[in-house]
């Protein structure tokens, strides 16, 4: 974690928001605290996304809904860690919010649970780009590997061409092994 890691805590309950902000500051986070109305301003276009958001489910319904609407542009690949205090087993989050970028934690929050869940979500979001990259590379790598086998059957006119084809086949095989090894070794939490 870097000192610039900004966590926005949106809660109108001072008995929750203030101790939570203190806990996060002690853990090295930069904390922005606000109620539902002020928090909406921080999430509005131009306010810039935070690195993580802790959202109290006990905000008034219209404020909670407004915040979800403001978060909608960050759904999908742009989703950042979202912890919902008191959200239960199926927290209400923006439609399309990435599945590895949100979690519900108890209300009142338990310090260890908050810090561990926040760290876990931040890691998942960080590694999402690599998982997506591997997914995107799978088809081209498989195609290059298959093409290298076809090209290896060609009978080139000279030794230089043969060496180039052999080198291509070796590198294509190496690329395929790297991809297969990565996919085989990744844990279930990153699937």
pLDDT at 191: 38
- Domain boundaries of the chain, sorted by first residue: 6-127, 128-190
Whole-angstrom distance, CA of residue 146 vs CA of residue 153 = 12
Measured distance CA(100)–CA(77) in Å, rounded: 10
Q: Which helix (H) or strand (E) holds 187?
A: none
Give the pLDDT score at 24: 92
Exposed, middle or buried: residue 40 (CB in 10 Å: 0-12, 13-18, 19+)? middle
pTM above 0.85, yes or no: no
Kindly provide the b/e burial profile for residues 127-156, where b requires at least 16 CB atoms within 10 angstroms of the residue's own CB.
ebeebeebeeeeeebeeebeebeeeeeeee
**What totals of helices (H) and strands (E) does the chain contain, helices first?**
5, 5
Separation between Cα atoms, residue 116 and residue 112, nearest integer Å: 6
Residue-wise pLDDT for 93-117, tens only, equals 888 888 888 989 888 888 889 999 9
Domain over 6-127 is classified CATH 3.30.1300.10: no
51-89 pLDDT, tens digit each? 899 999 988 888 888 889 888 888 888 888 999 998 888
* Separation between Cα atoms, residue 136 and residue 142, nearest integer Å: 11
Alpha-carbon span 47 to 40, nearest angstrom = 9
User: What average pLDDT does the structure give for the chain?
Assistant: 83
Instruction: Indicate if the pLDDT at residue 1 is higher than 50.
Output: no
Contact yes or no for 32/98 (Cβ under 8 A)? no
pLDDT, residue 44, reads 60
Contact predicate 151/169, CB 8 Å: yes
């Amino acid at each position: 974690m870097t000192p610039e890691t900004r966590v926005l805590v949106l809660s109108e309950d001072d008995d929750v928001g203030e101790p939570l902000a203190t806990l996060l500051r002690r853990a090295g986070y930069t904390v922005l605290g606000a109620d539902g109305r002020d928090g909406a301003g921080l999430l509005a276009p131009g306010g810039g996304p935070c690195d993580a958001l802790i959202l109290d489910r006990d905000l008034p319904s219209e404020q909670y809904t407004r915040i979800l609407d403001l978060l909608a542009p960050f759904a999908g690949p742009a989703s950042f860690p979202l912890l919902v205090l008191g959200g239960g087993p199926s927290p209400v989050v923006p439609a399309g919010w990435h599945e590895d970028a949100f979690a519900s934690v108890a209300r009142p929050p338990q310090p260890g649970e908050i810090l561990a869940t926040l760290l876990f979500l931040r890691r998942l979001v960080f590694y999402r780009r690599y998982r997506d990259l591997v997914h995107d590379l799978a088809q081209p790598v498989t195609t290059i590997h298959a093409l290298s086998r076809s090209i290896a059957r060609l009978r080139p006119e000279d030794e230089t061409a043969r060496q180039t084809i052999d080198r291509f086949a070796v590198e294509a095989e190496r690329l395929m092994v790297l991809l297969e090894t990565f996919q085989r070794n990744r844990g279930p939490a990153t699937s």
